[in-house]
Chain A
Amino acid sequence: MGSFTATVARPTGTNVILRIRTFSAIVGSGFRRHATYRQAAVAGVVTNTVFGFLRCYVLLAAVGAAGTVAGYDRAQLATFVWVGQGLLAVILLWGWTELADRIRTGEIAADLLRPIHPVTSYLATDLGRAGWAAFSRLLPPVLVGPLFFDVYLPQRAATGPLFVFSVLVAVLLCFGCRYLVNATAYWLYDVRGAMILWTLCSGVLAGLYFPLRFLPDGLLRPLWLITPFPSLFQTPLDVLVERDPPATQLELVGLQVGWAVAILLLCRLVQRRAERRMVVQGG
């Protein structure tokens, strides 16, 4: 049997409307698929809320009597923590091993036969998932936090739309990073090592454990420029709490867009390399 790459057979037609329709259909199915797990969503919300209280109290204690710490006042930190707890599930830092599992079991073969690029179709599913998470996981902590803490509300009109855009880019970027981590299964079969590395780095370097601005400037700048992690989590939250003047906000979001484009292109490249060398496991 001759060798073939699955990508070759894909239709190259330029029917844009058809493509958009396919894409949005997959987004919709991703939304519905995750919307069926309501109990899990409730459990997740409770957990995020408990951690919201824990992180919020600790960070507010760090502010102490001084009033501000690392450029945040108390209300800004509270918003940072509570929106962050919701955002965590929207970008889905952890726990996505679907692609790696399918590569290991050989089920990926079915994905490759579909007339849509695997990166595109998984991305569409993930956007649907993120949409559901925005309702079920982001909204509750955002509503609970202000009941118990003084939170910061954006003062500038442009902040709202910029935040929404920044979250969208963060979802795309986070999907790309997860796709790359999962795609190591094409070469390694067991992705546990890569997954552990990703879990550790993304937690601490994205700004989940503590706002990255707590770090010294000499560390912070290179971290932001040469790794995608701050763009995943810290950037949208800093945009929302207006930590920086508008010009800096735009720069940070621009950097985020750059990372998202680079990582998604890398996903396509990695996928193409993988398809050239892959041997489908199983029968």
Chain B
Amino acid sequence: MAEPLSAARPGVRGALAAYRALLRAQARSQTAYRTSFVVDLVGNVGATVFDVVTVLVIFGVTRELGGFTLRETLVIVGLSSSAFAVADLLVGNIERLPRYVRTGLFDAVLVRPLGALPQLLLMDLPLRKVSRALFGLAVLVFAVGTAGIDWTPARLALVVAAPLAAVVFFGSVFVATATVSFYWIDSGELASSVTYGGRDFTSYPVTVYGGWFRAIFAYGMGFAFVSYHPALALLGRADPLGLPAWAGWAAPGVALVAAAGAAAAWRAGIRHYRSTGS
């Protein structure tokens, strides 16, 4: 049946069906080798477990870190690691973009009648990272459950909104840093200094960091609003660095700004993209 070329882009329903098919195919192929999949699940949870173990070990040699106790720090760790794990599961695969650009696979993605970004994310959705996200959530639940939080309706709302905002924030960081590879194909690990660096940064109270390094990561890039300020608001603690109490509730706003910035960077990157010709 001959259709005009302009009709080739499917409607919203068609697109959703296509994405669902992509996701299903991914799930089938990834679980085809059961043992491998289980090993991957276990291996992936290991990385997050060791991040938490590191915090516990450090608190084994000190009673407080940057003025925060272990229980308070665990709230920060829980917010950070659950959000990072979920964002990594949903969007983290974008870090393969340099390879797609180098091998020319990205050309194939662009000529298909679906959005480039959702395709990239669904083409390789790493289901094995589910275990990591679940562990992160468990840490968060344990931490807020044992931190002695004085629950109010506003705090209940925040304990749901803050991790969601942090997921959006980390997702934006993944996308924004990946766009670097449109300009610099061999950028390699550069993106991980901000993505994984951001995860490490948000795992501790920002009071442990000093000077301009803290200023850049915490407020220049906005990482302070991922876990530190929401945790302060949940715990009802004043910020030792002097920001007002509402800073904790600013997290969703910061996340939206980050998402808008990432979207702009992505569009600019796509426009700039020249195929490597391979």
Measuring CB to CB, which residues of chain A are less than 8 angstroms from any residue of chain B?
A: 37, 39-40, 43-44, 46-47, 49-51, 53-55, 57-64, 66, 69-70, 148, 190, 192-193, 196-197, 199-200, 203-204, 209-210, 214-216
Contact = CB atoms under 8 A, between A and B. Distances in A.
A44 B193 CA distance: 9
Interface stretch (B57-65, B231-239, B253-261, B262-270): B57-65
B58 A214 contact: yes
Contacts of A200: 43, 46-47, 50
B189 A64 contact: no
Contacts of A47: 189-190, 192-193, 197
Contacts of A51: 193, 197, 200
A226 B229 CA distance: 44
Interface string B162-196: 00000000000000000000001011111011100
A193 B74 CA distance: 30
Given A43-B186, A61-B66, A50 B40 contact: no
B53 A57 contact: no
B190 A46 contact: yes
Nearest to B200: A54
A209 B50 contact: yes
A148 B189 CA distance: 23
Interface in B36-91: 36, 39-40, 42-44, 46-47, 50-51, 53-54, 57-58, 60-62, 64-66
B54 A210 contact: yes
A196 B190 contact: no
Q: By CB atoms of chain A within 10 A, which of B43, B53, B193 has the most?
A: B193
Contacts of A196: 39-40, 42-44, 46
Nearest to A41: B188
Interface in B183-234: 184, 186-190, 192-194, 197, 200-201, 204, 207-210, 213
17 contacts: A49-B193, A50-B193, A57-B209, A58-B58, A58-B204, A61-B62, A61-B66, A62-B58, A63-B62, A200-B43, A200-B46, A204-B53, A209-B54, A209-B57, A210-B57, A214-B58, A216-B60
A57 B208 contact: yes
B61 A62 contact: yes
Contacts of B184: 39
Contacts of B200: 51, 54-55
Given A46-B193, A64-B64, 20 more contacts: A39-B187, A39-B188, A47-B193, A51-B197, A51-B200, A57-B208, A60-B208, A61-B66, A61-B204, A66-B62, A70-B61, A190-B36, A196-B39, A200-B50, A204-B54, A209-B50, A209-B51, A209-B57, A214-B61, A215-B60
Contacts of B201: 54
Nearest to B63: A64
A51 B47 CA distance: 16
Nearest to A190: B36
Contacts of B50: 200, 203-204, 209
Contacts of A46: 189-190, 193
B187 A43 contact: yes
Nearest to A149: B210
Nearest to B197: A50
Contacts of B194: 50
